[in-house]
Structure 1
Amino acid sequence: MNDTMPVLMIELANAHGGVEQVIDAMIEAAIAVEYPDKVIKFQPFKFDLIAIPDFEYYSVYRDLYFSPSEWGRMILKTASNCKVCLDILDLYSCEILRSNCEQISFIKFQSSILENYEVLTALRSIDLSDKKILVNVSGLSLDRIDATLEELGSFGAQIILQVGFQSYPTHPEDLGLQKIERLAARFPEYELGIADHSDANSAFAQIAPLLAVAKGAKYVEKHICISRTSAKFDGSAALEPQEMQNLAEHLKLVHASSQAQFVPRSERTYLDSTIQVPVAARMVSAGSLLSDVDLLYRRTAQSGLKRHELFELQRRRYILAEPVDTFNVVAAENFRSAKVAAIIAARMKSTRLKRKALLEIGGTASSVRCLRQCAAARGVQQTILATSDIEEDGVLENVAREAGVDFWKGDKDDVIDRYLGACKHYDIDVVVRMTADNVFASPEIIDFLLDSHFATGADYTAAADFVVGTASEIINREALQRVADHFGRAEHSEYMTWYFQNNKDRFKVNIVDLPKDWVGDFRLTLDYEEDREMMDELAHRLGKKERVYALDDVLSVLRSDPALAGKNAHIGLRYKEDKNLIDMLDHQTRMK
């Protein structure tokens, strides 16, 4: 619908019967209609220039004739009150236009005169550049309308396409409403209008123009008469003055209804007063993220965040700063910005591949490569190498320094306790868990999992399937603390995954499908000599020992060289293949 008020074109037509006093009364009635954008339209023509004597209405046309001076008086009177439009029907219309050009804002071409060469030629001697031309396209195909617009373009005036033809009255199926949207699609640069000649005794006579406006028409042409019972001609389609005023009021309402903000204030107030907002289904601890399982939806006198607002805050990496009690709403002030750190566990105690944390891969220590890969993730604010507090592992502080990351020493066996120590010392809320064996840890996967973790309000997030050695886990510090509080010591926290995935009734576990291009049957973790040889060659293929490697580049090399990828493909993962280990972990990590 148009942003501006529809234009109401009040057509005087021929209901006056050629009587000057009647047309004067009609002019007064049209002027009296209160409407902000109103045009009064006249039909000046001369009987012997519009028809020849054999035409059935020739004598009627003679009776309807007004002289040039009479037209001049009527046009001047009307133009002092509102805009004027002239129907151009013959050469006489052209002369009336020429004589009163300054008072005329619009002219109209019926479709029946669009091929009238003598009229169109006469009009070319009149400057129409400041006029608007309504072109009625009734009876014309879309292609013919195209051609007509091209022909009329030389007038240099704004053209308005109009539907509706002079049938008194016009049946609803003949109104042309179905054309408006098609014309708008075919000719989007042109404004549209309707000439409505519906049966004025029907309620539809006031409904049809509103439907046209709703479909996109900006100009509504409607006949007026003083009284339908006394109108000599055209009365069946003409509205009486009060009916015309009623139509004007309805047009104002239709316009107002389409111009309100998308969500009006009253509508927003209604929603705010009735919406069922999220409230805590149970007490939720500080340091947690909220998911749908934590929430109920109720009407309440409390003022809190709507669901989409709450989850948008979390997507922006906010976390609960304080507990939220049962049935309490969640407010913005309950949140604070979360600090995210990648904590990489590393030790020097490896037995299968001695001192692997210091072994070079592509000219750089394996653990340094892992640390740099993790630090490259856009969502990681801090990277920490976390090792034990025994003397043997002290050498790893030099590794952290070389990689430009922070260093933490903690419990040698309880990795969860070690992680919590680092979290408390560095004030970390959300942990990206990685082990230093994962030389080609993927910053892309870290960011993908972080996005999902915050969006879903998880406690723990991991990938469903991945290239071994590329994927991390995301864990809230608050969830790590719950494990520590329950077990006292997490004796098997080298296998930290089990404490969460084995307790899905206690933790919000979010298992994520990675993009298919990031998944493959390769091994990129450092545990055996074959791993070192394969990854060392891979790093040399990728080049630049200081470089952070993109996952797509790493996988592209492996996919293009099956022999390289196959060097360590025979090595399995103990935590997936050792049934005794799996059974023990299932039992020992279960929170009963």
Structure 2
Amino acid sequence: MILAVLQARMSSTRLPGKVLMPIVRAPMIIRQIERVARSRRIDRLVVATSTDPLDDAIEAAVRRDGIAVHRGPLNNVLERFVGALDAHPADHVVRLTADCPLADPTVIDATIDLHLASGADYTSNSPDGAAYPKGLDVEVITAAGLRRAAAQADSPEAREHVTWDVWNHPDRWKISWLSDAPGEGEVRWTVDRPDDYAFVATVYDALYPADRAFTSDDVRAFVRGREDLLNYGGDRRA
């Protein structure tokens, strides 16, 4: 059983409320869930948000689409993940963040496939020097590994970043990296600033009406055909 946990909150410091900003007439988080739902390896998805009243709006938005929600401490994301796992038992957990509306289901599946084949505790698609665009990040961890990370969490960073212990103590974990990444670590598709949102909204307006399942290659081709988008906001976009 593979559980995807999509973490989301309204209180982003740089772009508050971004997860519910509209993308083609729906909240951004719903557009991301549409893409994640095309994964053939994920068995269930749950949105992990906080008990902060601001996040009531997230719960309402995703429940309207029949998506499960787990709520936990605002400042302990790791506890939220473990709570989601307790409520929806699984063997492996896929960590996703709700600022990635261009999430790629084929990349998610490739990361999961590698994780299962390698027997790793933790697998990611973003090794140094060979990363996919920011916004396509995928992390997969065994249920036992997630619980171990929670038991060992002894700092605010570990509680906020979920896989902090893996990244900072790789000697403690069996790790696999998806190594065929296209070397696009400088490409920015995540949404963390107003210009990121404007970029993603432009991509969706162009591609979504003709093909709701548009691919990452479709995004690359579209951006490369628009000189004004290539370095939009000062970041490489394709």
Q: 1:523: which partner in 2?
A: 188
Q: Deviations over 1:302-335 (max 9, x none)?
A: xxxxxxxxxxxxxxxxxxxxxxxxxxxxxxxxxx
User: Quick one: structure 1 residues 490 and 382, their matched pair in 2 at CA, closer, same or farther if it must change by over 3 Å?
Assistant: farther
Corresponding letter in the other structure for 2:231:
G
1:559 and 1:427 map into 2 onto residues whose CA distance is: 43
Higher Rg: 1
1:424 aligns with 2:86: yes
2:100 and 2:190 in contact (8 A); partners too: yes
Does the residue aligned with 1:505 lie in a helix, a strand or coil? Answer: helix
Q: 1:566: which partner in 2?
A: 231
Equivalences, count: 232
Q: 2:18: which partner in 1?
A: 356
Q: 1:398: which partner in 2?
A: 60
Does the residue aligned with 1:407 lie in a helix, a strand or coil? Answer: strand
1:512 aligns with 2:178: yes
1:415 aligns with 2:77: yes
Corresponding letter in the other structure for 1:460:
Y
Corresponding letter in the other structure for 1:522:
V
Corresponding letter in the other structure for 2:142:
N
Q: Deviations over 1:509-538 (max 9, x none)?
A: 11221353x846421111111011111111
Q: What is the aligned counterpart of 1:375 among 27, 34, 37? A: 37
Q: What is the aligned counterpart of 1:440 among 86, 102, 106? A: 102
Structure 1: gaps of 5 or more residues? 1-338, 572-592
1:472 aligns with 2:134: no
TM-score norm. by structure 1 comes to: 0.37
Q: 1:302: which partner in 2?
A: none
Q: Which has the higher contact order (CA 8 A, sep 6+)?
A: 2
Q: Deviations over 1:110-165 (max 9, x none)?
A: xxxxxxxxxxxxxxxxxxxxxxxxxxxxxxxxxxxxxxxxxxxxxxxxxxxxxxxx
In the TM superposition, residue 561 of structure 1 has moved relative to its aligned partner by 2.3
1:413 and 1:491 in contact (8 A); partners too: no
TM-score norm. by structure 2 comes to: 0.89
1:430 and 1:474 in contact (8 A); partners too: yes
1:499 aligns with 2:165: yes
In the TM superposition, residue 416 of structure 1 has moved relative to its aligned partner by 1.1
Matches of residues 188-227 of structure 1 in structure 2 within 5 Å?
none
1:467 and 1:485 map into 2 onto residues whose CA distance is: 32
1:400 and 1:389 map into 2 onto residues whose CA distance is: 15
2:153 and 2:159 in contact (8 A); partners too: no
Between the aligned residues of both structures, percent identity stands at 31
1:432 and 1:475 in contact (8 A); partners too: yes
2:136 and 2:197 map into 1 onto residues whose CA distance is: 15
User: Quick one: structure 1 residues 457 and 520, their matched pair in 2 at CA, closer, same or farther if it must change by over 3 Å?
Assistant: same
Q: Deviations over 1:159-191 (max 9, x none)?
A: xxxxxxxxxxxxxxxxxxxxxxxxxxxxxxxxx
2:7 and 2:96 in contact (8 A); partners too: yes
1:341 and 1:383 in contact (8 A); partners too: yes
Q: 1:550: which partner in 2?
A: 215
Does the residue aligned with 1:341 lie in a helix, a strand or coil? Answer: strand
2:116 and 2:149 map into 1 onto residues whose CA distance is: 20
2:132 and 2:181 in contact (8 A); partners too: no
In the TM superposition, residue 367 of structure 1 has moved relative to its aligned partner by 1.1
1:340 and 1:379 in contact (8 A); partners too: yes
Q: 1:532: which partner in 2?
A: 197
